[in-house]
Amino acid sequence: MELIRLFAEERRSLLLDYLTQNQRASVKELSTHLNVSEATLRTDLNLLEEEGLVRRIHGGAVLVEQSRPEYAYAERERRHQPEKAAIGRKAAELVQDGQCILVDASTTALELAKHLRKLPYRLTVVTSGIYTALELKENPNMHVILIGGVLRMGSGAVEGTLGEDILGKIKVDCLFTSPAGFQMDSGLMDFNLYEVELKRRMVQASSKVVALLDSSKINVHSIASYAGTEQIRTFITDDGAPADVLEELVRRGVRVSTVPTEKAGRME
C-alpha cells in the first residue's frame, strides 16, 4: 500500500511539473506523457483541483495561477504576511546562542530569518532556502550553510537531495519548517515531491521539529507528508487557528503557541 501511495504522489508531482511547463494540457496528452490510464489521470486531476492546484476544463486542466513557480514564491510571501511575521518573531525566541539549526525554504521561515539576523548569537544555520541564506549572510556571527541541489525557475528553494550528505555530518538542535498544509492524521504536507523528500531528511536529522504555519494552512491537504504529527515538538500558529485542532495537538503532547496578529493589516 505504501509503494502505491508513493507512486501516486510522484505521479501527481510530475503532472504538476508538466502543467507548469505547458500551462494547460488535455487528459489524453497527460495520459501519454505519464504512461497511465485516462481514468487514473481524471482521478488525479480531481484531487489536485480539490487542493486548489489545478482547475479542470473541458477535456483537461490548467494550472492555477498561484501554483506556477514564476508566481509562487513572491505571491506566497505576500499572503498572510502579518501572521507570518508574528510567527517568525515567536519562533526566534526559541533559538539559543551556539545552536545549529535547520531552516527550510518557506516564506514563513524567511520571516524567522529576518529576526535571527538581528540577534547577537553565534549560530550555525543550515538551510535549503536561497532567500533565507541571503538574509542571514550579513550577520558575522552566523555560519550559513546552503544545502546543495537543483534550482527551478521562480523558486526560492534548493530542491532534491544532492546536498543531503551535510545532514549526516552535523548535529542539529532544531528544525524550523513550514508546510503547504497540515492535517492531524497526515501531519505536515507539501505539494512538491522533490522538496518533500529533502524535508523528510531534514526532519530525520533534527532533534526536534518546530512547525510554523499560519491558520490558513490548517486542515489543508497537499500531495505528500514529510512529518507526522507525532514528530512535531512545537506548533506555532496565529490566533485564527481552529480551537479543536489546537486542543487535539496539546492532547497529543505537542507544545502549542499562538500569536496575535493585526487583522486590519492582512493581505490576502
- What is the rounded distance in angstroms from the CA atom of residue 12 to the CA atom of residue 3? 14
Indicate the CATH number for domain 78-261: 3.40.50.1360
Contacts of 84 by beta carbon, 8 Å cutoff, 6+ apart: 107, 108, 111, 212, 214
Mean pLDDT of 245-250: 98
Mean pLDDT of 146-153: 73
What are the structural domain ranges in the chain? 2-68, 78-261
What sign does the CA torsion over 190, 194, 196, 198 have? Answer: negative
- What is the rounded distance in angstroms from the CA atom of residue 198 to the CA atom of residue 160? 6
Neighbour-count burial of 185, counting CB atoms closer than 10 A to its CB (0-12 exposed, 13-18 middle, 19+ buried) = exposed
Supply angle C-alpha 42, 64, 154, rounded to 5: 120
The pTM of this model reads 0.74
Q: Quote the percentage of the chain above a pLDDT of 90.
A: 49
What are the tens digits of pLDDT across the range 173-218? Answer: 999 999 989 999 999 998 777 788 889 999 999 999 999 999 999 9
Neighbour-count burial of 127, counting CB atoms closer than 10 A to its CB (0-12 exposed, 13-18 middle, 19+ buried) = buried
What are the tens digits of pLDDT across the range 61-100? Answer: 887 754 444 445 555 555 678 899 999 999 999 999 999 9
| pLDDT interval class at 136 (50, 70, 90) | very high
Point out the least confidently predicted range of 9-13, 67-71, 117-121, 179-183: 67-71
Rg (CA), the chain: 19
- What is the rounded distance in angstroms from the CA atom of residue 52 to the CA atom of residue 65? 10
DSSP state for residue 268 in the 8-state scheme = -
| 251, HSE (Cβ side, Cα atoms, 13 Å) | 7
Point out the least confidently predicted range of 49-53, 102-106, 132-136, 238-242: 49-53
Domain 2-68 falls under CATH 1.10.10.10: yes
Phi/psi for 218 (5° steps) reads -80, 135
